[in-house]
Amino acid sequence: MMPAEDVLSRVRITFNFLSIMSLGFFNSGEVLAVNMTIPNTVIRGTHGGEAVLSVSYSSFSADLPVIKWQLKREKSVTVVQSIGTDIIGTLRPEYRDRILVFENGTLLLHNLRFSDDGIYDVEISITDDTFTGEGSITLTVDEPISKPYIHTESSSILELSENVVLNCSHENGTRPTYGWFRGGKPQSNETRFSLSPDKKLLTISRVLMADDDIYSCTVENPVGNVTSIPFRLTVYRRSSLYIILSTGGIFILITLVTICACWTPSKKARRRSRKSLARLYDQYQHSVVNDREDMLPKRREHNGISAVTSLYILQQKEPSIDDSSSNSAGSPEHDGPPCFNNHPKFNGSRTQPCGSPVCSPHSFTV
């Protein structure tokens, strides 16, 4: 059985509650209270945008309501207080030119800042009403997320049994939450797949051939979500790599050989080669002609008549005793060749010196 004191306390509480409820009614049965309605208790705002903290109320009084908005902090901060739509007093500097109050108590905030994030309490009271309408709305202010992408410190081409860490990053955005997809299906913690506490990192231990797939991540915050560009993870066996490299080397070698075999000089190169060959041929012909001219006897003209001077090739022999005895100083034989001069239409005798100093003069009469 319950103690008597507990029974008495419950009776008193019930009596007080009934007394309070009875104050809301009087002779006509009308409710002396402001009934407030809040359609949405959580509002998502974008940094630099605007937010509408919507409320409505009902009352039997015809008087204008007194509306008061406060932002919860360690010490509550009064945002605005008004009678109807007329603001009472002076607004705080951070709320000037950014506040608008409607007749039904709704508050409009312009040019949202991160400092506007928080819980807003609203009170609507009317003099004739006994109870004041109260409520609260949570406002979040965030920056949209942009350009999410996946990157890894190692290569995206992995050898079998290697480890890899995939990092989901983005340029802008506040309060992000991350999610991973593998082949279009959500990825969670598994035996070889582990996510960091914030799910920003995906670690794959000892990759298998089955892990060769397309990965993507989603980044979400209160004002939206964005999916990254698909990231291809390639897994290979070492033998496969050798085959790829060797095949590529053979292909490159065949290509080079084909290019060298099919290469033909340009028209300019052909013209240059032809000119050089013609020049060499002319030089050769010129040298041959000069050699022939040197071998032929030279013609000289004397008094309009060409004289042919024969060339003699003398072979020097070692003098012997007989030659030395026979060839004396008075011998008519001479070392040099005989010289002949023809003088046409010349009467009389005239001595013409020969080219050799030991040649005796001869004269001819025509």
Tell me phi and psi for residue 226, to 5 degrees: -135, 145
Q: What is the mean pLDDT of residues 100-125?
A: 94
**Residue boundaries of the structural domains of the chain:** 24-142, 149-238, 298-318+339-366
Q: What is the mean pLDDT of residues 322-348?
A: 44
Task: Identify the DSSP state of 103.
Answer: T
CA 105 to CA 134: how far, in whole Å?
11
Torsion on CA atoms 112, 113, 118, 121, rounded to nearest 10: -50
- Asked if residue 57 has pLDDT above 70, the reply is yes
CA 208 to CA 186: how far, in whole Å?
19
pLDDT, tens digit (0-9, with 9 covering 90-100), for 127-144 = 776 778 899 999 999 999
Please name which of 104, 103, 120 lies closest in space to residue 51, comparing C-alpha atoms.
Answer: 120
Task: Confirm whether 24-142 and 149-238 share one CATH topology.
Answer: yes
Higher pLDDT residue, 272 or 227? Answer: 227
CA 339 to CA 344: how far, in whole Å?
16
Q: What is the CATH number of domain 149-238?
A: 2.60.40.10
Q: What is the CATH number of domain 24-142?
A: 2.60.40.10
pLDDT, tens digit (0-9, with 9 covering 90-100), for 144-180 = 999 999 998 877 787 887 889 999 999 889 999 999 9
pLDDT, tens digit (0-9, with 9 covering 90-100), for 12-25 = 555 444 444 444 44
Residue 47's pLDDT is 94
Joined tokens for residue 281: 């041929």
